Amino acid sequence: MCGGDPLPGRPVNAAHKSWPKDKPIVDLELIGLMKELIGSCEFPDCLSSFQLECCHVRARGMGGGRRKDTPDNMFLACREHHRGYDGAGQSRARQKWATENIIRTRPVWLQQILQEFSDRDNP
């Protein structure tokens, strides 16, 4: 889970031993903005706003890395859909499905706001 509450006493990046301990593995501010603006699971036909988690289209372990904490590689999913997406494996077909059915279906205004916010540290 990214952007969720870490287990008590564990930093957000505790599961990633190679990542520096003082740096979060996700852009928590971007995830907060996504939760505020989107407010529910982005899977088609799901309106759940309970236990929203950040899901990566291309997972860190599959080359997503910290540099891929961008709106075009992240979406909100309820816990059930997040587990289903991650549990299905990270195939190119799965990544294409998420891009076409979740990322590209966002309203243009939302895409623009998220991208501008994501670019805030890279003028």
Residue 5 lies in a domain: yes
pLDDT tens figures, 16-33: 444 445 545 577 888 899
Residue 121 lies in a domain: no
Q: What is the mean pLDDT of residues 82-104?
A: 88
Count CB neighbours of 69 within 10 A.
22
pLDDT of residue 98: 93
Examine the pLDDT at 13 and tell me if it is beyond 90: no
Residue 20 lies in a domain: yes
Residue 117 lies in a domain: no
Residue 28 lies in a domain: yes
Residue 83 lies in a domain: yes
Q: What is the mean pLDDT of residues 72-90?
A: 88
* Higher-scoring residue by pLDDT: 22, 41: 41
pLDDT of residue 105: 95
Residue 24 lies in a domain: yes
| Cβ-Cβ contacts under 8 Å for 40 (sequence gap 6 or more) | 46, 47, 48, 49, 52, 76, 78
Residue 120 lies in a domain: no
Domain that holds residue 29: 1-106
pLDDT tens figures, 47-60: 999 999 999 888 76
Share of the chain above pLDDT 90, in %: 46
| Counted domains in the chain | 1
